[in-house]
């Protein structure tokens, strides 16, 4: 069947002229194609049995945490290794921030991409970002799973042995010498900690990625070296050769486009996202409330859709782009069943801590993914953690997005008790309320039948957010917290 690469899956950094492909981007994760460190990431919806796991906190607290990583049914050892990797880093972050109460809104964020996927191997690239008062820093880790040997592996396990690692370190060091004074090649050691992110480009070259500050005294963005396939093949283990072949499989990845070009192409002849049942309720007369669910789709979203269908209730889903790319079929089901799909950014970063270009990137990457799934253009966005400012509103407005927050916080991130979640949702509801919940939390989905039953008994009708505003509609760039607020 036809295949397509998901949004943001081309390259991350600017082109380089040096022979081994040393590159340094001024902005990490910039959507600028490059050779030879370009990596064509695999569409996660291709992988049977792949879902996502989310760890989060922060809508009601000072610390901002959002972690997403994949789980694969037939690779439980991979899932467990990913879980250990992110939780160990998160535990360290929590310890560090607990000892430094002066830092306002420290942030920990993890997103992922598939570096390769075949019937023999899987490769998951994690980007781990942290801000603890001294600026933002990114680190990269790639975890591999050998389906033939049923083993989860570190990146250096792609190499034959310690001597292969030493040889690779020398090749990379020589390449970094050509990079100039901004990079310190002598910081490189034949140490697994320096080579924990190894992936392959479509030509079979080995791409070695370094963390911020790992080979420089200041942040240069993503620094990477591409070692030619002919040089690296003698160094590879059996798993490494399988991973190389998986990355070299022919694809029909489209030619790269700028963010503006791709958004223009994506929105051409696409209608704005709207509930298929919009107009069936007049909220000027009916007692309306909008249930909203953030951060999904996740493992429990399908069950939530079943519950909503049984009660003939509809909701607004603010989806995270990286999760949406793994479950486009759930987004299509939301649209078909009268719900509304909206934008919750690509990787759930605090937008108020980003420059305008990165705010736009977070929104447009998610926007492209949602459009591809549902064939409609979202008109709503919810800022992660509810954190917004004039710049966020301005960027959202230019992208045709209204900013939606909430008037009722069920605090479902903090309290795993379904009864308590339901009690808060029901006791705080009032006509025109926008109720915040998260479909990535199982207890929240467990609470849904009780919330629906009790609110319906009180005479409430469940509508999508725009229906609260009736004929007045919602304006791009304006902020909405409830039916009584619009700016």
**Same domain for 361 and 271:** yes
Tokens of residue 358, six digits: 């990165």
The tens place of each residue's pLDDT in the chain, 487 residues long, gives 333 333 333 333 233 333 344 444 333 343 333 458 888 899 999 999 999 999 988 666 688 999 999 999 999 999 999 999 999 999 999 988 887 766 778 999 999 999 999 999 999 999 999 998 778 899 999 999 999 999 999 999 999 999 999 999 999 999 999 888 889 998 999 999 999 999 999 999 999 999 998 998 776 778 899 999 999 999 999 999 999 999 998 654 443 344 555 555 556 678 999 999 988 999 999 999 999 999 999 999 999 999 999 999 999 999 999 999 999 999 999 999 999 999 999 999 999 999 999 999 999 999 999 999 999 999 999 999 999 999 999 999 999 999 999 999 999 988 889 999 999 999 999 999 999 999 999 999 999 999 999 999 999 999 999 999 998 899 999 999 988 754 4
Q: How many CB atoms neighbour CB 305 within 10 A?
A: 21
Phi, psi torsion values for 412, nearest 5 degrees: -70, -15
The Cα–Cα gap between 252 and 35 comes to 18
User: For the chain, what is the domain count?
Assistant: 2
Distance from chain centroid for Cα 24: 23
- Which secondary-structure segment (H or E) carries 81? helix 76-98
What secondary structure does DSSP assign to 378-434, as a single string? --EE--GGG---HHHHHHHHHTT-EEE--SEE--TTT---HHHHHHHHHHH--TT-E
Three-state SS for 334?
helix
Domain membership flag for residue 276: yes
Residue 170 near residue 191 (C-beta atoms within 8 A): no
What secondary structure does DSSP assign to 238-304, as a single string? HHHHHHHHHHTS---PPPP--HHHHHHHHHTT-PBP--TTTTS--TTTS-EEEEEEES---TTHHHH
Domain membership flag for residue 257: no
Domain boundary among 250, 283, 317: 250
**Same domain for 342 and 229:** no
Q: How many CB atoms neighbour CB 312 within 10 A?
A: 12
Residue 242 belongs to domain with CATH number: 3.30.565.40
Three-state SS for 51?
strand
Domain boundary among 221, 250, 279: 250
| CA distances (Å), origin 2, targets 8, 228, 229, 254 | 19, 30, 28, 12
Domain membership flag for residue 127: yes
Give which of 392, 296, 286 is closest to 339, Cα–Cα.
296
Residue 303 belongs to domain with CATH number: 3.20.20.370
Whole domain around residue 418: which residue ranges?
263-480
Which residue in the list 194, 339, 438, 441 is annotated as catalytic? Answer: 438
Q: How many CB atoms neighbour CB 48 within 10 A?
A: 8
What secondary structure does DSSP assign to 291-323, as a single string? EEEES---TTHHHHHHHHHHTT---EEEE-HHH
Tokens of residue 103, six digits: 């830092």
| CA distances (Å), origin 416, targets 94, 296, 411 | 20, 17, 9
Domain membership flag for residue 1: no
Domain membership flag for residue 255: no
How confident is the model over 178-216, as pLDDT tens digits?
888 889 998 999 999 999 999 999 999 999 999 998 998
**Same domain for 466 and 330:** yes
**Same domain for 312 and 413:** yes
Active site residue 294: yes
For residue 364, the cross-strand partners are none
Active site residue 64: no
Which residue in the list 146, 157, 294, 295 is annotated as catalytic? Answer: 294
The Cα–Cα gap between 332 and 315 comes to 14
């Amino acid at each position: 069947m036809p295949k397509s690469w998901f949004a943001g899956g081309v390259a991350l950094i600017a082109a380089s002229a040096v022979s081994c492909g040393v590159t340094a981007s001024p902005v990490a994760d910039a959507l600028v194609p490059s050779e030879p460190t370009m990596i064509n990431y695999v569409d996660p919806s291709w992988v049977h049995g792949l879902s996502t796991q989310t760890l989060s906190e922060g809508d009601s607290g000072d610390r901002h945490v959002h972690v997403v990583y994949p789980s694969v049914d037939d690779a439980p050892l991979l899932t467990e290794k990913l879980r250990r990797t992110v939780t160990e880093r998160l535990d360290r972050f929590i310890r560090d921030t607990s000892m430094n109460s002066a830092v306002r809104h420290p942030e920990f964020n993890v997103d992922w991409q598939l570096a390769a996927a075949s019937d023999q191997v899987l490769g998951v690239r994690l980007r781990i970002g942290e801000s603890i008062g001294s600026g933002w820093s990114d680190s990269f880790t790639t975890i591999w799973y050998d389906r033939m040997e049923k083993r989860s592996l570190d990146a250096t396990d792609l190499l034959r042995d310690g001597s292969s690692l030493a040889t690779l370190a020398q090749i990379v060091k020589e390449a970094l010498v050509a990079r100039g004074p901004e990079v310190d090649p002598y910081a490189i050691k034949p140490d697994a900690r320096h080579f924990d992110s190894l992936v392959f480009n479509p030509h079979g070259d080995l791409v070695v990625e370094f963390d911020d500050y790992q080979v420089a005294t200041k942040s240069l963005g993503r620094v990477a070296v591409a070692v030619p396939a002919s040089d690296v093949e003698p160094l590879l283990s059996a798993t490494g050769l399988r991973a190389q072949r998986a990355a070299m499989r022919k694809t029909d990845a489209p030619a790269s486009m700028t963010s503006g070009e791709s958004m223009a192409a994506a929105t051409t002849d696409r209608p704005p996202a709207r509930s298929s049942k919009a107009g069936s309720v007049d909220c000027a007369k009916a007692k309306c409330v909008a249930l909203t669910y953030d951060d999904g789709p996740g493992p429990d979203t399908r069950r939530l859709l079943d519950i909503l269908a049984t009660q003939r209730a509809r909701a607004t889903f603010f989806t995270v782009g990286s999760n949406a790319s793994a479950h486009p079929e759930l987004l299509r089901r939301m649209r078909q069943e009268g719900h509304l799909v909206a934008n919750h950014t690509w990787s759930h970063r605090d937008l108020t801590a980003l420059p305008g270009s990165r705010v736009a990137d977070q929104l447009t990457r998610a926007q492209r993914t949602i459009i591809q799934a549902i064939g409609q253009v979202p008109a709503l966005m919810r800022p992660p953690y509810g954190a917004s400012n004039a710049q966020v509103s301005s960027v959202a407005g230019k992208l045709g997005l209204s900013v939606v927050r909430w008037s009722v916080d069920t605090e479902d991130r903090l309290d795993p008790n379904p009864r308590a979640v339901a009690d808060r949702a029901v006791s705080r509801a009032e006509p025109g309320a926008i109720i915040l919940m998260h479909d990535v939390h199982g207890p929240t989905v467990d609470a849904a039948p009780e919330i629906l039953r009790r609110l319906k008994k009180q005479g409430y009708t469940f509508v999508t957010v725009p229906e609260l505003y009736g004929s007045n509609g919602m304006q791009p760039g304006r902020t909405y917290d409830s039916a009584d607020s619009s700016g």
